[in-house]
Structure formats: C-alpha cells, structure tokens
Amino acid sequence: MKQRIRLGMVGGGQGAFIGEVHRFAARLDDRFELVAGALSADADRAQQSARELGIADARSYESFEDMARAEAARDDGVQAVAIVTPNHLHFAPAKAMLEAGIHVICDKPLTSSYAEAQALAQVVEQSGAHFAVTYNYSGYPLVREARAMVAAGALGALRLVQVEYPQDWLATAIEAEGQKQAAWRTDPARAGAGGCIGDIGTHAFHLAGFVSGQQPECLLADLSSFVPGRVLDDNAHILLRYASGARGSLWASQVAAGEENALRLRLYGETGSLEWFQENPNKLLHRPLGQAMRTLTRAGATLRDDSGAITRIPAGHPEGFIEGFAALYSDFADLIEGGEAALLPTVADGLKGVRFVDAAVQSMAQGSAWVTL
C-alpha cells in the first residue's frame, strides 16, 4: 500500500486562515498526513490546536526548533513541513527544517526582506531538500492552459501584460480594531517593507511571469497608503518593461471598494489575446485577431495534457482556490517521491517575488524612478 507523506506544520493554529487552507489542500488528493506541528507561539493554543487536528501530544511542539530536532531524530519523523506563519517568521523555521533534512513548502512571500530571501535560497541549495512556495494561482488548470498556449505561440510575439488584483477588505482601519489578519499585514515589523504589494502584489507578479514566460527587466512604482495612519502601502500602480520589448502594468489594491478577490490577467500579442479572471476561474477567453472570441473551459477536449491532469471533477462543476493549492501539494508530493514537477513555484520564484517588493519600495523612495530587476 502506498504510504502518505508525513507532514508537519509551523503556524496555522486556532484562528489562522491560511493554515486551514494548506491542510485542506494537503488532504485533497490524499497524499499527505498531518502528524506533527508547532502550531502557535502560545503553548496552550498550540496544544489545543494539535488536539483538534488529531496530532498526538508528543508531537505538538512549543517551538519550531524543538520540532526540527525531534522529528529529524525519529524513524517516522516528518518528511515535509508547511510554513504558514506571518512573513517575518518564514526564514528561521524554513532554515531549521532544511538543515534537518526536511522538505519545505512555504506560504508566500518567501521572506519579509530581500536579504533573507537570498540567504534562504542558499540554504535550499546547500541542503539538497525540496522547497516550494505556494503561489497557488499557478495551480489552476486554465492558468496552466494559458501558459501552454503562450509558449506554443498562440498569441504571437507578446506585446502587453496587464495584471490586476483589487480587494476592499482593508478599505478601513480594521487593524486598529484588533482584526488579526489585518494587524500583521499592515505592520512592517511582521509583513516587511511591502503591504499590499507583499500580500497580493506578489501573487499578481508571479501569475504574470508564470503565464507569459517572461520576467520584467525593470519597474516603476507608485505606492499609496490611503487609510489614515497606515504605514505600509494599501494600493500600488506599477509599470513593467520587458527585454523582449513588451510592456506591462500591475495594479494591486486592498482599498478598492466593492471588490472581493478580483485577480485578472490579460495578455496581448501580435495575433491574439488571453484573459483569465480568478472569480470565474473555469473559463479562459481567447481572442484570435480578426476572429470570434473562444471560451475555453476545463472540458477535456480543450485542455492540454498537463492542464487536464490536475482537474479532479467533471467539467461544469467549479474548481477553484483550494484545488489550486492542492495542485501544488500534489506537485510537491511528486518531487518527494522522486518524480518531476516543472510547474511548481520554487525558491527561485519566491526570491523574484521578494525582489519585486524590494524594487517597488525602492522605486517609490526615489520618486517613482525606474529600478532594474
């Protein structure tokens, strides 16, 4: 009988949003089993969280350091660990696990600073362990289909890359009311130098690069903090230039009234365009120049093999956010078991995301000057 991969988790205790998402995703394809955790810096909450999740008391740890040491010494120790803490607590747990020979899957962004991201990339290389970053939108079947179409030349030479990610959940100062998720995301000590750009801008940046197959060579940023008293940006307009001659723009906002999670990507080439919208993720619009628009769905006849392989249910039954995460967990399981996962976001992708934040902040500090990536 094929054994499930033994999974641990750092962070993700009671009241944590993204930890639960990771647990759902890890279980969806039945390839992981959560057996250990350092789920909270508060010992009581960590223990209560572990019991709720069916983790044995002996494998509920008060610190990630204890967890790395103890699990590495067990014959049945964890093979992989998911890190689902606030940004400033990504580096140290990831380093400890990697140095203990444990594979790591880390929530984005990679770290809260570019220096830490560079250091972590070196640790990954030296450890020989597998490392992935959960840019989960790259796990959607039609996003992977769009990537394959661009690579196959369906749009001709790329001209324009337009990506936007507006939300409205930080339109008021809810961090001042004790809202936990808002509190750390608006705190530079925990989130890093980027607010909106670190939280959702990095998703948009990765999505644009993943589908287009190109990385910008420079950017110009206009960052704003609209809510009074807020230190970090809550809105960003960023221009992108590519070595190929293509031009792009990225808009990320958490103060766009009426928007929920409106991530949208549009690519325009010499012979056509593509559009994908996260709130309607099971459709991909293809507009060949001079022809009628085509609407692609997850129906098997319209998907290439590498896209259709991650579709779990019949066409017409919506898949979305959890399934996107699950695709990455399944890819990660393939790696651990000796296979390949060419589309899985790696530490290199995480490093590019943190550099994007660093460059955007630098551009703004220089009066919205162009900064080389």
Residue 135, domain member (yes or no): no
Please state the rounded mean pLDDT for residues 217-232. 98
The answer to whether residues 152 and 119 belong to one domain is: no
The answer to whether residues 177 and 303 belong to one domain is: yes
Residue 241, domain member (yes or no): yes
More confident residue, 108 or 1: 108
The answer to whether residues 163 and 243 belong to one domain is: yes
Please state the rounded mean pLDDT for residues 202-218. 98
Please state the rounded mean pLDDT for residues 276-282. 96
The answer to whether residues 195 and 294 belong to one domain is: yes
Residue 134, domain member (yes or no): no
Residue 31, domain member (yes or no): yes
Residue 154: per-residue pLDDT: 97
Please state the rounded mean pLDDT for residues 202-227. 98
Please state the rounded mean pLDDT for residues 212-238. 98
Residue 231, domain member (yes or no): yes
Domain closes at, from 78, 110, 129: 129
Q: pLDDT band at residue 16, thresholds of 50, 70 and 90?
A: confident
Residue 299: per-residue pLDDT: 80
Q: What is the CATH number of the domain that holds 108?
A: 3.40.50.720
The answer to whether residues 152 and 220 belong to one domain is: yes
Q: pLDDT band at residue 316, thresholds of 50, 70 and 90?
A: confident
The answer to whether residues 104 and 164 belong to one domain is: no
**238/369 Cα distance (integer angstroms):** 11
The answer to whether residues 234 and 305 belong to one domain is: yes
User: What is the pTM (predicted TM-score) of this model?
Assistant: 0.96
The answer to whether residues 120 and 147 belong to one domain is: no
Please state the rounded mean pLDDT for residues 106-120. 97
Q: Does residue 301 have a pLDDT over 50?
A: no
The answer to whether residues 98 and 162 belong to one domain is: no
Q: For residue range 159-170, what is the model confidence (pLDDT) as tens digits? A: 999 999 999 999
Q: For residue range 180-192, what is the model confidence (pLDDT) as tens digits? A: 999 999 999 999 9
Residue 109, domain member (yes or no): yes
Q: What is the CATH number of the domain that holds 200?
A: 3.30.360.10
Residue 300: per-residue pLDDT: 56
Q: Does residue 312 have a pLDDT over 80?
A: yes
The answer to whether residues 51 and 171 belong to one domain is: no
Lowest pLDDT segment from 17-31, 106-120, 289-303: 289-303
The answer to whether residues 151 and 251 belong to one domain is: yes
Domain closes at, from 70, 105, 129: 129
Residue 59, domain member (yes or no): yes
- How many structural domains is the chain composed of? 2
Domain interval for residue 98: 5-129
Q: Does residue 305 have a pLDDT over 80?
A: no
- φ/ψ of 59, rounded to 5, equals -115, 20
Please state the rounded mean pLDDT for residues 344-355. 98
Domain closes at, from 73, 106, 129: 129
Sole residue written with tokens 């990504």 = 90
The answer to whether residues 124 and 145 belong to one domain is: no
